[in-house]
Chains A and B, each alone.
Chain A
Amino acid sequence: MNRLKTILLVSVILISQSLFSLDHIQKINTRLDNIYKSNDIKPNGRVNDDLYVRRAYMQIAGRIPTYDEYNSFINNSSKSKRHELVDKLVNSEDFVSNWYNYWADILRPTDRLTGVNYLVGEPYIEWIKQSIRSNKRYDIFVSDMLTSTGNIYDNPATGYFWKDRGMPLDNLAGTSEIFFGTDISCAQCHDDPFQDWTQLDYYKFAAFFAQNQENRGTKEEIASVDKIRKTIIETRKKHEDEMASESDAAELDDITKKIVARGSENRITQLLRASTINIQINEKKTVKLPHDYAYEDAKPNDVVEPAFLFGKNAEMQTPNDYRKDFVTWGTSPENPLFAKNAANRFWDRVFGVPVISPINNIPYPLQTIDEDLIKDLEQIFKDVNYDFKQFVTILYKTNLFERYPYTKEVNSDFKFQGPLLRRLTAEQMWDSIATLYVDDINYFKDQYAMDYIELMSADIATLDIKAAVEMSDKYNEIRRSKYKNAEKYKSLVLVRSSDITIPNATSNILRELGQSEKILIQDSTRDGSVTQVISFMNGPVSEMISDKKSKMSKLIDGKDRKESIDIVYQSILQRKPTLQERSDIEAYNIEDIMWALINSHEFKFN
């Protein structure tokens, strides 16, 4: 059974439009109005259509609008066009890409997920995207990962555990931080001096996941791989000399030739092993305290039983897989942190500042910008039954989303007068640049994950040597051809950042712009660096937009100068030049103006 494939084939798009949405939007608007009133401050005004369309695309679609998209919004005379645009964008592939980037920063999927060669992250990546695309309920999205078993291709949600392979305690610290907004990493090694967690608590928490066990495969599979490995070694020994002579080599069949030419048995056997390795539940596995455990409440090497760390403790119902008890309690509406953490995180992503800080370690007593606001958000997320898309749609339709940005340092004066002015993320920046070059930013359809899943689903237990060699060839082919159909500019692969999984020139640019290395949770940065600025000013990105093949160049082809300048401004900054700017730039040529606009602070901030 191949779960991902089934999901993909039955691709059902759920358009969630609850009758209660309007009430929820109103509730947030009223709450914010009360905050302004009680603090005696004026919120920022409502942005014009130019700024609105730029923000909506940037925050919902993860990129600037195209020239056509910009115009179609500006020329639309509907009174409710802003909310209509939100509805359009949240149901687009852009939305999937944008929120995938958010989760990628947190869950850190990469092409090589673990130390296991050929166990690649692409199925997991595709699974995350598909979960967003099908608007999987948030609690189910989380449970799917936390209770996953199987192979990476059979159940890609296992990527959550593969990512931290061999580091179950770090994985647990991640689970606590990501889904419960609580940083317990200190307690991994010692009682947390600043909070209530003890090292013993940490281990009790870890006991929920202690039954996870890595399994190399069935006896038959392991025997089959060993047999193939032996065959390869013997074949090589036997025919190595013949290969040295051209006439002798001609006598050999293709498979034999390939085996000998490849030189090592490792590539094929490692590929087969990646296909059989999986995560299973071993009921008998437990977690023990470390040998140097130093506190009085237990002894070193004691076996620890699972117990919840925050909120009420409950009876264990599923001792044969404690993880199920974990998610039952963890995702229940009674859990004090699950919905609160998610609401706070999504709000932060949309408006740039969380209601509770720090986002990864919700402090007690709560330090919030407004306690009622976070209560409202938590309740709304529960009321919509953890419907992620509906929840963020509500946020996108608030008055706050339409206000001028807040452009001062965030301190105690900040009460959500407007969304925070932020530098674009690395992904927003790259996707916006690419939007100016290719015709349709979502043109690239990545087949790699599906091809990989199909390839790895082979029945290894009955595989013969010929099929094994072919499987290895096929693997190399699908990996090599991943970007075969992608547009390129010099060495840059022009696909969305959410489709960049294999390191290349584009991933280097993304890293320079601050994309995370995907080792630590939320390690991306909006900081500048000298190399980043140099590369933007004088690297391939600086020349790409004015290249003759770019959409930007095609748009102004044959147009007079005034019109060209308008198009360039509207394409890059989503506005016309001011009168002052028109006269300022009069003496300069259009390529130089394009260069200046993509290097401008206005382009890089939203």
Chain B
Amino acid sequence: MKMDRRTFVNNIAKAGLGVSALSIDKRLAISQDKAKAKNVIYIYMEGGMSHLDTFDPKEDSETKGEFSKIATSADDMFISEHLSGLAKHGDKMAIVRSMMVGTGAHAQAQYNARTSYRPVGTIIHPSMGSWMSWLKPTEGTLPGNVIISGPAKHPGSGWLPKKHSPVPVIDPSKGLQYSDIKDMNMFKSRWEILNKINKNVNDNSTSPEVRAYVEFYDETMKLLQSSELDKFNIANEDAATREKYGNDRFGQGCLLARRLVESGVSFIELKSGGWDTHVNNFESLSNKLPSHDKSITALIEDLEQRGLLESTLIVIATEFGRTPKINVNNGRDHFPGAFSCAMIGAGVKGGEVFGETNDQGTKIISERKVEPKDFNATIATIAGLSVDQTYFSPTGRPFKVAGGGSPVLDIIA
């Protein structure tokens, strides 16, 4: 019984912590001067991206591996030779090299990366896109939270209402599943009958659950008929643009992300798999990195050209790093003790490198270690979400957007 539960939550909130369940206006009543990003493109490298071969290159002969480092457009910022496109945009990019996480297991660390919380048996925490969809609802017909090529296991909206779950696009070149209407005339006549049959319910129902459904059907119908739906269809881009982004799944996903940003989708997660390089790390990364570099660079430049980079934050995240020691299979294993993540675009202090590992890349030597919750607090702050506000789940448990993490202010513009 929702009402009672809400009353219950309000009561305990007042009794215990002096806060109450808030209206949307109050939820947003935070300092907005750092909130530069209207949109977030969260690129997730699933499996654990090797920090040493990407954003934290080393000279040490034991751990360096097969790649060299190159300079970027920012002073004293060096990255892997396979990221030459990104290197041109070092002045817009911030790197955090002192990332660490408490677990070396994929599922737990991925959950932690996406929710800022450790997985527990009694509740599922919302992912960042769902917080954003809940706290900053978008206007217009498109959903506010989309995931491209997402994994089977994703925390989604957690304890938040299901409508804030990311809308999945399984294959970016195919768009939204089942949204392709073959015979629009037939569909319209079906919709006419449906409205006649529903008329009584539509006009007279006082049930909140029914009303919510009526709205869902109306919204979905609007979406299916709207020209905005076209935004999910990357076939509308010319061949040169598609080529510029790279004609693989990830590249096309980046292109779709740009189209969705243009139409106001506020949070887009784009997953890329295959970073769990226990075997032949260098061979697989020498293929992977250039193509990903090409796609992300195209995304940055395209957004910039369209004037959207100043309101769009691009995040490159992963669950942990990989062992500096190269294993017998010429691979690298899981390394939660130190890894790197990056941010580009809106709200980011470009050219900043935060944190440092030792010469071998085996240890963080800078003072502050950055956990996923701190990194997420940084994203949240740039996106204008309060990280201090406490929100209550329907079961009355208190949570914060980034799990109590503190933003890395040094990389916020």
Contact = CB atoms under 8 A, between A and B. Distances in A.
Given A358-B8, A361-B395, A530 B120 contact: no
B122 A409 contact: no
A193 B220 CA distance: 43
Interface in B92-124: 120-124
B210 A601 contact: yes
7 cross-chain pairs, A with B, having the tightest CB-CB distances, nearest first: A170-B121, A528-B216, A596-B193, A357-B4, A533-B220, A527-B162, A584-B196
Interface stretch (A224-232, A429-437, A535-543): A535-543
B223 A530 contact: yes
Interface stretch (A208-216, A290-298, A585-593): A585-593
B167 A531 contact: yes
Given A170-B121, A531-B176, 13 more contacts: A170-B120, A407-B206, A409-B207, A528-B213, A529-B165, A529-B167, A529-B216, A530-B143, A537-B221, A538-B224, A588-B192, A599-B217, A602-B198
Contact of A514 (B4, B162, B197, B212): B162
Nearest to B213: A528
A599 B194 CA distance: 7
A360 interface: yes
Q: Give the interface centre of B1, B161, B186, B216 by most chain A CB atoms within 10 Å.
A: B1
Contact of B3 (A173, A410, A605): A410
A589 to B, nearest CB: 9
Interface string A322-365: 00000000000000000000000000000001100111110100
20 contacts: A170-B120, A186-B397, A358-B5, A407-B206, A407-B207, A407-B210, A408-B207, A409-B208, A514-B162, A527-B163, A529-B165, A531-B177, A533-B216, A535-B178, A538-B178, A538-B179, A538-B187, A539-B177, A581-B196, A584-B193
A584 B192 CA distance: 10
Given A194-B396, A407-B210, A588-B189, A600 B198 contact: yes
Interface size class of chain A, counting residues whose CB lies under 8 Å from the partner chain: 35 or more
B239 interface: no
Contacts of B168: 531
B122 A194 contact: no
Nearest to B162: A527
Interface string B203-238: 001111110111011011101100000000000000
B181 interface: yes
A601 B198 contact: yes
A533 B213 CA distance: 9
Given A514-B162, A535-B177, A409 B196 contact: no
A500 B178 CA distance: 23
Contacts of A514: 162
A321 to B, nearest CB: 24
A530 B122 contact: no
Contact of A539 (B5, B162, B163, B178): B178
Interface in A407-463: 407-411, 421-423
Contacts of B123: 185, 520
A291 B174 CA distance: 53
A112 interface: no
A308 interface: no
B167 A360 contact: no
